Amino acid sequence: MRAWEEVGLYDPDDPDADERRALLEYLASLGLSVDDVHEAACGRSLGRLAADHVLWGDAGPDLTIAEVAVRAGIDEAEARRFIRAAGFADPGDEPLFRSAHAEVLQAVGAGAAIFGDDAILQFTRVVGSATARVAEAAVSLFLANVSPRLEAQGASELELVRQSAEAVRAFGVVPGAMDALLREHFTAAIRRMGLLDIAEGGATAVTVAFVDLVGSTNLAHHVTPSELTAALSVFENTAMDAAVARDCRVIKLIGDEAMIAGASPIATLEVVNEVLCAIEDEPALGAGRAGLAAGYAVSRDGDYFGPVVNLASRLATAAVSGEVLLDEVVARVVADEGYAVEAAGDYTLKGFDEPVPVLRLKRSRPPRPDRRSRRVRTPSR
């Protein structure tokens, strides 16, 4: 341990010398040098040092953005734009990169040559945002499930560092899993888009649905945070599972609302019905409502935009507890398949210049009692 003593990391006369020795020996077993640990001890935590080393398996970054750009065969200014688009601050001239980053930028440059700089920059933003969410979800798993337990146990510094490293080692399977999942989702997206009608200009014929929890703000005051979290998980998981089973997709989850899209009004409505039933079976969720509309929408960055999306959203907002409101296109298709619908009147909806003819799905399953005052509206005659 002499080398550790020389840099001030170990004192054999310290009361906690044995524990400190065990920690340093563990760091050395990971392949970290005395200099690595000494540098980390002066700045970042030893737990982060161990995690970084397990994650990358090297001595650390050693390339500047200029050097990475040269290896990738792209302009330095272009490399900086892509780094920012991926969700990272401009690195200046610090050596913060590895050879792996050069390979990524090389691939990005090749993509830009095919699709154009602006399109690839936007795609990079989508990928950066998605991977940031995955990474934060992974770290949150540790903070929510492991850290409190270690704190309650009064874990030693060695155990804290060891658990940090082991957690990162466990997450080492994520990149490989994401590679396989991404390939499968590419296949599914190609198949799904092949089922859609693409209009001139690139708009896509799609059915869009919004399912909303009624009175969720008020509900949050009547249940514990853990109960609300568990109930929301039922809502989100049901939406995801029901959509996958019918070749639809949950476009996004916005707090207490889910946006769903599918090529078929029937399939999309089936997803909505399953989600509403799950909401009605979960006491902590109160009740749900939904709106569906079909037409052409612009598909961009994994999302949909356009009047049909706005209409579905407005219909969900206009619905009351347990109600499913449909535009004329969806209503016609589902009625032909045996679903019972009835006229609900012409609604004045925000963002639409003229009143919109709206129909109501006559659900076979009675909705739960409305837990809020019924919305007052005056349909046009």
Per-residue pLDDT reduced to its tens digit, 23-55: 878 778 877 777 777 766 654 567 777 777 777
Per-residue pLDDT reduced to its tens digit, 339-356: 999 999 999 999 999 999
CA 142, CA 315: separation in Å to the nearest integer? Answer: 40
Does the pLDDT at position 362 exceed 70? yes
Superfamily for 188-361? Nucleotide cyclase, GGDEF domain (3.30.70.1230)
CA 235, CA 224: separation in Å to the nearest integer? Answer: 17
Neighbours of 69 (CB within 10 A): 25
Strand spans (E) along 45-193? none
Contact present, 26 and 161 (Cβ < 8 Å): yes
From first CA to last CA, the distance across the chain in angstroms is: 89
Per-residue pLDDT reduced to its tens digit, 56-69: 877 678 899 999 99
**Stronger pLDDT, 367 or 317, i.e. the higher one:** 317
CA 363, CA 339: separation in Å to the nearest integer? Answer: 8
- Positive or negative, the Cα torsion across 293, 298, 302, 303? negative
- Positive or negative, the Cα torsion across 247, 252, 253, 257? negative
CA angle 59, 92, 138 (to 5 degrees): 55
Map out the domains of the chain as residue ranges. Answer: 2-43, 65-171, 188-361
Contact present, 161 and 19 (Cβ < 8 Å): no
Q: Is 348 in a helix, a strand, or coil?
A: coil
Q: How high is the pLDDT of residue 332?
A: 96
Q: Is 364 in a helix, a strand, or coil?
A: coil
Q: How high is the pLDDT of residue 148?
A: 83
Nearest to 59 by CA among 45, 40, 87, 79: 40
Per-residue pLDDT reduced to its tens digit, 258-316: 999 998 999 999 999 999 999 988 877 878 999 999 999 988 878 899 999 999 999 99
Q: How high is the pLDDT of residue 41?
A: 64
